[in-house]
Chains A and B, each alone.
Chain A
């Protein structure tokens, strides 16, 4: 009952025809999604990550009913999305990071008016939901501004609000923070956390930004070449992938490579700046403390492992087993 999203061996096979000569074409099968099974409970917030072309978007398109699966069984809220796409549409919210649904030349408010009428949202509920989104996403000053004049971050916030006005039970976000500045990213994340906590909205988000996952999702699923290669906590992912975070320190002057820090090793030196790698599962604090204790520290930053790199390592690790 609590399994809100159910996938059992879901497949999506595309047939790609390529011109190989005059009038001659060869057909190749591309298995974009190659037998994926998972369950998402109502109210869960799950990260769905993987390199470009891994099958993330294809999965989202099947979950929303845009694409018809080639095989397997798929249910969202007990509904088969591809068969009852329009009926399901009232119960889901979708944000495609790079494709806005807002009306370019009209004030933001007008786009919401269309949503209200198209989804037949009762007046009271519409007003309550809009007020909430306006408050939490800081849209008050933007409602009467034509969308074309909004910044990317403002537009993304506007798009997220548009997807939530009809109280969807599940929200799919495809790269919701792509191209946003730090402030906008933080605002979006905070809002998503609120929505999930207060309304119990199930959230499934794809992203390239591991920070999104770290701050939002207890659970992360990794897809690569159409297969699910990890389903569990983010920490687990780091452990499996043996991924490393990078501590970048600026010292007062050029010094020989930093040595003798427990659990960290210096991988690069460039003048007074040095790079120390340490396991992503460890906290940065003791490493920073140890360096600061013995070296004249001017500035520092910590870089999170890149998602592609983590997955690449996972594969390298699996291959060597």
Chain B
């Protein structure tokens, strides 16, 4: 052999490294059009702010929404927006995979010595998505100031755990959706229904939705674990499905299970692509 075999590095490390390298390139590409970047970031911020303005308008006519006060709704809104924003920032462009499959440019990623998932995840990384996170985080802070919560160490810890678990759950949906695009080239709309649609739903209290829908997002697509279940515990609210109390702390486990499933889906999708080439 011509050269010694390179030290075998762990796949996650390689993936993160490749991801950061590619992200760096996209950030620099974005900076080639600085004005456009600033406009897009502002636009993103304004659009997400409008979402909340809609809720504000609603509250100018009513005092509570499904029994939740404005500050409580802001808490729900802030948590899901932050979680979703994180996932969207890191993985939001995975729905471009379908296009890469169609025009054959995925092949150029497959011949590089780096995990494909990392390269696809970093594809067209958009810094402007920080707009959504910052807006969500601002709202979260505002709601925490306004809310009158009897804080315990458990509740304090539950907030960051909830945000990270939520981001992982949304991330898993992004990856699973992308994996599906190996087979159905234009499945990105279905995925959007769960990601963008999901976060819009989670901005409102679960009590305004039909019980069947709440059941669906608890047991089928576990979006309820993003913020509803842990947030209800923090707000000291009843669980609308009457589930046992430990469920409120199950978000990290659910998130890990989602990631594992998404990983399997990705592997199977990639294997399918490599045996059919389309």
Contacts and interface: CB of A to CB of B under 8 A. Distances in A.
Interface of A: 14-15, 58, 61, 64-68, 70, 77-78, 82, 85-87, 89-92, 94, 96, 99, 101, 103-106, 110, 114, 117-120, 146, 169
A138 to B, nearest CB: 24
Contact of B108 (A82, A92, A99): A99
A15 B278 CA distance: 11
Contacts of B6: 90, 120
Contacts of B111: 64-66, 85, 89, 92, 94
Contacts of A119: 113
Contacts of B105: 99
Interface string B256-278: 00000000000000010011111
A106 B28 contact: yes
Contacts, number: 76
A87 B6 CA distance: 9
Nearest to B275: A68
Contacts of A118: 18, 21, 112-114
B28 A110 contact: yes
Nearest to B5: A87
Interface residues of B, number: 29
User: Taking chain A's interface residues, is the majority helix, strand, or loop, or is none over half, making it mixed?
Assistant: loop
Contacts of B278: 14
Interface of B: 1-2, 5-6, 18, 21-22, 25, 28-29, 32-33, 103-105, 107-108, 110-115, 271, 274-278
Contact of B113 (A61, A68, A86): A86
B57 to A, nearest CB: 40
13 contacts: A66-B274, A67-B274, A77-B1, A82-B274, A87-B5, A89-B113, A94-B111, A96-B104, A99-B104, A99-B105, A103-B25, A106-B25, A118-B114
A106 B112 contact: no
A89 B29 contact: no
A66 B110 contact: yes
Contact of A67 (B22, B113, B115, B275): B275
Contacts of A92: 111
Nearest to B278: A14
Most chain A CB inside 10 Å of its own CB: which residue of B6, B32, B111:
B111
Contacts of B274: 66-68, 82
A287 B25 CA distance: 57
A161 to B, nearest CB: 15
